[in-house]
Structure 1
Amino acid sequence: MNRNTSKRMYVPLLVVFALLLLTFGSAAPLVTAASEPPKAAKKLVMGTSPDYPPYESVDAKKNGEIVGMDIDIAKTITKQLGYELEIASMDFNGLIAALQAGRVDFVMSGMSVTDERKQSVAFSDSYYTARNTIVSRKDHAFETADQLSGKLVGAQLGSIQDLFAETIAGAKLKKLNKIADLIQELNSGRIDAAIVEDAVAIEMVGANPGLVMNFLPAEGNDNGYAIAFPKQSGLVGDFNRVLGQMKANGQLQQIVDKWFERKEAAPAEQADGLNIDLRVLQGYVPYILKGVYVTLLFTLVSALLGLCWGVVLSLFKISGIKPLQWFATAYTSVFRGTPLLVQLTIIYYATPQLTGFDIPALLAAGLAFGLNSAAYLSETIRGGIMAVDKGQREAAIALGIPYRKMMVRIIFPQALRHILPALVNEFVALLKESSLVSVIGVTELMRRADVVRASTFRAFEALLLVAAIYYVLVLVLTSLARMLEGRLRRSD
């Protein structure tokens, strides 16, 4: 009896171990001290969206470090104030939410000061001023905002350029999350023009010979970039003091000159237009391949959690105990009736706000996908159990076999044969849907492809490589499933 009990405890313990691995292993660098007083922790966490060179980008060819003008300024300020700096990567439109949830202590990401943002966060003094710029194709170039009337104009979602684009009379807007997406849309002709900041425009045009840029009039379009903090943060005064010193002694201008001189350098040889040129991936392949481990770890934990919790839910549904049936039915209805992406962002952003626990991004992703998968698997497993001949149950009861032993030794093995293809499909879906976790900053395959797109301003080559990697992983998974299915058949 003790031996059987230990076997039944094995899988749940494996899930617990995997979750602990997510929390304290791979996700450990993502844990922040935002819930503690900054000065006590002597560490500040900076939120940024590293897809906006030269302000912030990932140096994927070397060690994956986030670099840029904003990063150098932040390092200088925090060093002078005696803090250790930790950088958290996430999408631009999630930065203010992360600030409000206490996930980061401040945000630097080429963020302009607006009245709307002032209602949610506090800003430092401005450290750089940029101009809005129109980027368009050479064969259909636009020089003024008036010429964009009736045209489809792209802008980065949540940026100051997004707000400016809304003021262009008669223009139709297309808002995208990343600058690299705007480039792809321009090159493919899906949008007529893009509104971006001047420094980024120079990068875009330098890497894409088929594009041209035209500066908009500076009057009324100057965008002062500043550092964002939570409301009533005690750090604002300290940062402003150091910023003032950097402006006075020329240190700030030196950092600006360093990165602006770098961005105006001639780009590496690349293919023109929409031609495929795999040479742009040179030096980036090892960086992308490192995402395979994170993707597989996340998929394994999600699958284990989904399978174990799905079994419990399926037993609730066939238990005959009304409260358990109602709970399992309601759970399945909620998780199948709401988008997975919504569940993921709720778990990631709401957990610190409601509980004070700063859940690591990878752990939040594993929980969201595991809980969602359990809702679907519970119906699959229930169907497999119900498909087993009733005579099996009746024979086991007649022989006096306890219910738990009957389910583990007789019913579940037969149900597994029926549902194995459906289980494999669910695990394959988990593997492919893992790309969604990039929105909360988990550096899996898709996130790394986005980094390469932001660095090269070319999308197809990086996405083609990632698609090939996913395809190979799915082939391996389905091959293992066929081997297991064949073994189960031979054991009949």
Structure 2
Amino acid sequence: MRNQFARRLIVSLVCAVLLAGCWLAFAERTEAAEPGPGKTIVMGTSPDYPPYESVDAAGGGEIVGLDIDIAKHIADKLGYKLQIAGSDFDGLIAALQSRRVDFVMSGMSATEERRKSVDFSDIYYNARNTIVSLEKFSYASLDELKGKRIGVQLGSTQESVVADMKDTQITKLSKIPDLMQSLKADRIDAAIVEDAVAAGYVGTNADLHFEMIPAEVGGEGYAIAFPKGSPLTAEFNGVLRDMKSDGTLQAIIDKWFGTEKDAEPSAATSGLNFKRLEPYAGYLLRGTYVTLLFTFVSALFGFVWGAILSLFKISNVAPLRWFSTVYTSVFRGTPLLLQLLLIYYAVPQLFGYTIPALLAAGLAFGLNSAAYLSETIRGGILAVDKGQREAALALGIPYRTMMASIILPQAIKNILPALVNECVALLKESSLVSVIAVADLLFRASVIRANTFLAFEPLIAAGAIYYVLVLILTSLARLLERRMRRSD
């Protein structure tokens, strides 16, 4: 009875992982098409930089902002369909070089260093850098920051503003909300950010203050980035010139900057304010679905592939043993985040296939999990009494039948707690997929932080959801364990 139940369970898991893998392969495809009238072009952006680009989390979850409106106008004039792909800012150049996107608009300055890797359009907006600090300090110039702790966004031109400052501790973070939280937590003394972004944070945080840096310091303008030699560069420049001459560009700028800089600081509040999260509840819960789906697929794929690897390790065929040993060594000896980034960025360059972000994440986590599970399953197989194997062989039962019907069901029962621990670890580690802009639970919490300028509340809400999910998972595992015991 127990063996029949275990066999049905294994068959169901294999079918489920195949179906889910197919769904992932087509659910989030964002391939950059060859430019041409009527075709889709993909825009890369980092949607955590309001008012240039941010996610309308309280609405439909659409990416909106100054850059988005400009890109939509240009695409419409040229007859393209626009598709927007989110990413961390420091990964945008890599996305261009791997042809994951056709162009990038993300408040990106056209620096000489970047021009070595990509082509830029004409400048469409000139921003000013500012010093954001706590109100009680109010640093007014870079000279006053000498010897202080300064924060900048990783990969931004603000890095060059502070690059030559001596005796200064520079902190580089991927997201602007993290910089502001570091400032409020007294991990840094000031942050260098662009003026409109500074106005947004100061307008909703009464304890913050910003001062303009002279225009000649870090004064590169914002432009659209393209892969080297892209035909889109000249096309976009033509439309940009028309937008400047007929006033369309200025109208879009006025739309997004008309109220940002005039916002009055909100009253200082103490404690936590979860009430402001209410409009974003649906957006956050949709991230829970993505997290669960990703964890489910990764766990199933990791289990199936790990079981195969474990059989390789106990096989009498030497090449199979060598392969499984090397595989386990490589995937356990390198960071999971590195494996994720390699699959996401290297596959388009090496194979010409723009792998969807969610599929890349599922593969990376599944392949990594299989390396650990192969050892766990191998231990479970070896823990089964040798007498049962000998008896099965004496009765003439084929090896495959013996492993599928006798050995593996008992091994799974023995290692069930370890399998549950691996699922729990996958659920929590799934937060890493936010670095490639998979809209999971943590990614959406970060978006809410950028939109509301709240530091703690979105993270606490996400943490509570993760905790509840782990409790549900462990409860279901206990029910399954009791079910398998009753079937003995």
**Bin for the TM-score computed over the shorter chain:** over 0.9
| Aligned equivalent of 2:390 | 394
1:391 positional shift: 0.9
Query: Is the Cα–Cα contact under 8 Å of residues 336 and 365 in structure 2 kept in the other structure?
Result: yes
Whether the 8 Å CA contact 1:73–1:252 is kept in 2: the answer is: yes
| Letter paired with 2:325 | T
Q: Tell me what 1:79 maps to.
A: 76
Match of 1:57, SS?
Answer: strand
Say if 2:431 is the partner of 1:435: yes
Alpha-carbon distance in structure 2 between the residues aligned to 1:372 and 1:8: 20
Contact 1:101 1:349 in 2 (8 A): yes
CA deviation profile, 1:396-425 (whole Å, cap 9, x unmatched): 111111111111111111111210000000
Q: Distance in 2 between the 1:136 and 1:67 partners?
A: 27
- CA deviation map 1:358-409 (0-9, x unaligned): 1110011100100000000000000000111111111111111111111111
How much does 1:265 deviate? 5.2
**1:8–1:54 distance in 2 versus 1, CA, 3 Å:** closer
Q: Superposition pairs for residues 80-95 of structure 1, below 5 Å? A: 80-95=77-92
The letter for the 1-side match of 2:420 is V
Given the alignment, which residue of 63, 67, 72 partners 1:70?
67
1:375/1:41 CA distance change after superposition, 3 Å: farther
Rate the CA distance shift 1:362–1:44 in 2: closer, same or farther, 3 A.
Answer: same
Paired residue for 2:239?
A: 242
Q: For residues 293-322 of structure 1, give each alpha carbon's deviation from its aligned partner in whole angstroms, at most 9, with x where no partner exists.
A: 111111111011100000000000001211
Residue 414 (structure 1) aligned to one of 410, 413, 416? 410
Aligned to 1:364: 360
* More deviation, 58-67/38-47: 38-47
CA distance in 2, matches of 1:388, 1:9: 21
Shift, 1:271, TM fit: 5.2
Alignment correspondent of 1:478: 474
How many angstroms apart in 1 are the aligned matches of 2:263 and 2:449?
A: 18
Question: What is residue 200 of structure 1 aligned with on the other side?
Answer: 197
Name the CA distance, whole Å, in 1 between partners of 2:360 and 2:408: 30
1:300 pairs with 2:296: yes
Contact 2:203 2:264 in 1 (8 A): yes
User: 1:31 is matched with which residue?
Assistant: 30
Counterpart pick for 2:111 among 114, 120, 141: 114
CA distance in 1, matches of 2:416, 2:262: 56
Structure-1-length-normalised TM-score: 0.95
Give the Å deviation of 1:14: 3.0
Q: Distance in 2 between matches of 1:262 and 1:438?
A: 30
- Of residues 327-336 and 163-172 in structure 1, the stretch that sits farther from structure 2 once superposed is 163-172
Alpha-carbon distance change, 37 to 421 in structure 1, aligned in 2, over 3 angstroms: same
Residue 17 in structure 1 maps to residue 19 in structure 2? yes
Q: After TM superposition, list the pairs within 5 Å mapping 1:92-491 onto structure 2.
A: 92-264=89-261, 266=263, 272=269, 275-491=271-487
Cα 1:8–1:223 change in 2 (3 A) is same
Gaps of 5+ in 1: none
CA distance in 2, matches of 1:353, 1:40: 25
Q: 1:106-138, CA deviations, whole angstroms, 9 ceiling, x for partnerless residues? A: 000000011110010000000000111100011
Segments of 5+ residues of structure 2 without an aligned counterpart are: 1-5
- Name the CA distance, whole Å, in 1 between partners of 2:481 and 2:295: 21
Preserved CA contact (<8 Å) 1:271 1:277:
no
> Does structure 2 retain, via aligned residues, the 8 Å contact 1:146–1:168?
no
Amino acid at match of 1:291: G
TM-score by length of 2: 0.96
Contact 1:210 1:272 in 2 (8 A): no
Q: Secondary structure at the match of 1:357?
A: coil
> Shift in Å at residue 218 of structure 1?
1.2
* Cα gap change, 1:149 to 1:309, in 2 (>3 Å): same
**CA 1:363–1:325: 2 relative to 1, 3 Å:** same
1:435-477 per-residue CA deviation (whole Å, 9 max, x = no partner) reads 1101111101011001001111112100011011111111111
Q: Aligned in 2, Cα 1:412/1:267: closer, same or farther, shift over 3 Å? A: farther
Q: Do residues 59 (structure 1) and 75 (structure 2) align?
A: no
Which secondary structure does the structure 1 equivalent of 2:396 belong to? coil
| 1:288 maps to amino acid | L
Q: 1:26-65, CA deviations, whole angstroms, 9 ceiling, x for partnerless residues?
A: x2xx422x2x421066111000001001100011111001
Cα RMSD of the aligned pairs, angstroms, is: 1.7
Of 254-263 and 325-334, more deviation after overlay is shown by 254-263
Q: How far apart are 1:83 and its partner, in Å? A: 0.6
- Whether the aligned pair in 1 keeps the contact of 2:7 and 2:409 (CA below 8 Å) is no
Alpha-carbon contact 2:132-2:198 (below 8 Å) kept: yes
SS class of match (2:230):
coil
Query: SS at the partner of 1:103?
Result: coil
Change (3 A) 1:270 1:421: farther
Q: Are residues 58 and 8 of structure 1, via their aligned partners in 2, closer, same or farther at CA, if it must alter by over 3 Å?
A: closer
Determine if contact 1:131/1:223 at 8 Å carries over to the other structure.
Answer: no
2:42 is paired with a residue of what secondary structure? strand
Give % identity: 62
Residue 45 of structure 1 aligns with an amino acid whose one-letter code is V
Change beyond 3 A, Cα 1:229–1:74 = same
Does structure 1 conserve the Cα–Cα contact (< 8 Å) formed by 2:44 and 2:85?
Answer: yes
> Using the alignment, how far apart are the partners of 2:407 and 2:287 within structure 1?
39
Residue 3 of structure 2 corresponds to: none
